[in-house]
């Protein structure tokens, strides 16, 4: 019997488990919300988890950060390292990578392009804004989460057509103007509730990808407190938002209105284009090229890579060409023709 039998037995569980197995997650921040999240993601067997956290374990983390122990705090071990040690003891099919680093403008785009969904579990506003900017530039979806005192929140910004963080919070607060775990404290229940809310949004997203009405799951805010319980609202869209124009990354708008064929994405070092092929056809065509390519088909994206960069394809037809291949539009056009054929680029 499969280790994952009990989740495969749920309604639609076989299909969900398969998507779960292919899912590649980047977890930014492995603290009060990130540790129970990572524990559950590895326990339930996602395909690949990268943990990014530049902080070290402290004694005051231990009451809520479920992957850490006394000796991690005594030895001031990097959270990413301690989390990896703990998660590897769970076993199972998940491949785990731990990076004891911060998210920076230099590493963000390349990290995003290697994953299907980004989970923001940092309590750091500049990091959240960087996640939002990079998500807009690369088209990779993300879920925000936070907990403080006895309150929690989770919000999904998932393609296609999701508004951005600025649509929800037009003027993000200054880092010093809001409370922190140091000033207000935080209860374990708030962290666990935030982690649960993220898992709920993620599960709903993976389930909805077969349903035409799934878009509503891509823009949801779950907010709660111990006293008041939880409320769920739809993420507002600001049509005048100067960052996303109210969901500018929506595929249908780009395809019909902007008629973009190949365009350079600012900040991301990559070229965006549109393909007229589904994943099965892409896999067949890439397969003809032999073993020179590393091909990885995930639940959200299909990635083909050689030593000069990668082609990352999404279900809605969008594709990114990164690395040296993505430095110039002409390089990207040649790559697509060579790897997938002259007829692969979408026609308008
Ligand atoms: Zn926006």
C-alpha of residue 140 to centroid of ligand 1, in Å: 15
pLDDT band at 257 (very low <50, low <70, confident <90, very high): very low
Query: Can you tell me the distance from the alpha carbon of 202 to that of 157, in angstroms, rounded to the nearest whole number?
Result: 11
Write down the pLDDT at residue 135. 87
Using a CB cutoff of 8 Å and minimum separation of 24, what contacts does 330-334 make? 331/271, 332/262, 332/271, 332/273, 333/262
Residues flanking ion ligand 1, Cβ below 5 Å? 163-164, 166-167, 241, 243-244
Q: Is the pLDDT of residue 303 over 50?
A: yes
- Residues 41, 12: contact at Cβ < 8 Å? no
C-alpha of residue 340 to centroid of ligand 1, in Å: 34
What distance, in Å, lies between the first and last C-alpha atoms of the chain?
50
**Domain limits, CATH 3.30.310, in the chain:** 251-340
Q: Is the peptide bond before 160 cis (omega within 30 degrees of 0)?
A: yes
C-alpha of residue 326 to centroid of ligand 1, in Å: 26
C-alpha of residue 166 to centroid of ligand 1, in Å: 5
**Domain limits, CATH 3.40.50.720, in the chain:** 5-234
User: Which element (helix H / strand E) includes 52?
Assistant: strand 48-52
C-alpha of residue 158 to centroid of ligand 1, in Å: 13
Tokens of 72: 């991690």
Q: Is the pLDDT of residue 33 over 60?
A: yes
pLDDT band at 175 (very low <50, low <70, confident <90, very high): low
CATH of region 251-340, choose from 1.10.10, 1.10.760, 1.10.150, 3.30.310: 3.30.310
C-alpha of residue 223 to centroid of ligand 1, in Å: 20
User: Which element (helix H / strand E) includes 87?
Assistant: helix 79-88
C-alpha of residue 157 to centroid of ligand 1, in Å: 10
C-alpha of residue 145 to centroid of ligand 1, in Å: 18
pTM: 0.78
Domain 5-234, architecture per CATH: 3-Layer(aba) Sandwich (3.40)
Write down the pLDDT at residue 131. 94
Structure-token match 């076989």, residue found? 14
* CA distances to 67, 123, 303 from 345, in Å: 46, 41, 16
């Amino acid at each position: 019997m499969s280790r994952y039998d009990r989740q495969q037995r749920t309604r639609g569980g076989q299909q969900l488990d398969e998507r779960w197995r292919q899912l590649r997650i980047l977890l930014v921040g492995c603290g009060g919300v990130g540790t129970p999240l990572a524990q559950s993601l590895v326990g339930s067997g996602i395909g690949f988890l990268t943990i990014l956290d530049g902080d070290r374990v402290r004694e005051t983390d231990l009451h809520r950060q479920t992957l850490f122990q006394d000796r991690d705090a005594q030895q001031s071990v990097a959270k990413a390292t301690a989390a990896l040690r703990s998660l590897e003891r769970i076993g199972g099919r998940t491949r785990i990578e731990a990076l004891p680093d911060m998210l920076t403008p230099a590493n963000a785009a390349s990290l995003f392009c290697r994953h299907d969904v980004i989970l923001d579990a940092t309590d750091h506003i500049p990091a959240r804004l960087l996640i939002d900017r990079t998500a807009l530039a690369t088209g990779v979806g993300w879920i925000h989460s936070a907990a403080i005192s006895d309150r929690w929140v989770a919000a999904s910004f998932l393609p296609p057509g999701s508004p951005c963080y600025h649509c929800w919070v037009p003027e993000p607060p200054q880092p010093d103007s809001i409370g922190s775990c140091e000033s207000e404290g935080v209860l374990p229940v708030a962290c666990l509730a935030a982690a649960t809310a993220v898992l709920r949004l993620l599960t709903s997203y993976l389930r909805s990808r077969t349903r035409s009405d799934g878009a509503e799951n891509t823009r949801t805010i779950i907010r709660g407190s111990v006293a008041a319980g939880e409320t769920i609202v739809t993420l507002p869209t600001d049509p005048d938002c100067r960052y996303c124009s109210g969901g500018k990354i929506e595929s249908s708008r780009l395809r019909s209105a902007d008629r973009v064929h190949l365009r350079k994405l600012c900040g991301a070092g990559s070229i965006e284009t549109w393909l007229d092929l589904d994943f099965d056809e892409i896999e067949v065509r890439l397969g003809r090229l032999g073993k020179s390519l590393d091909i990885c088909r995930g639940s959200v994206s299909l990635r083909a890579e050689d030593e000069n960069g990668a082609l990352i394809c999404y279900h809605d037809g969008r594709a990114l060409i990164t690395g040296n291949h993505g430095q110039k539009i002409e390089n990207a056009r040649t790559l697509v023709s060579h790897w997938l054929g002259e007829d692969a680029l979408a026609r308008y």
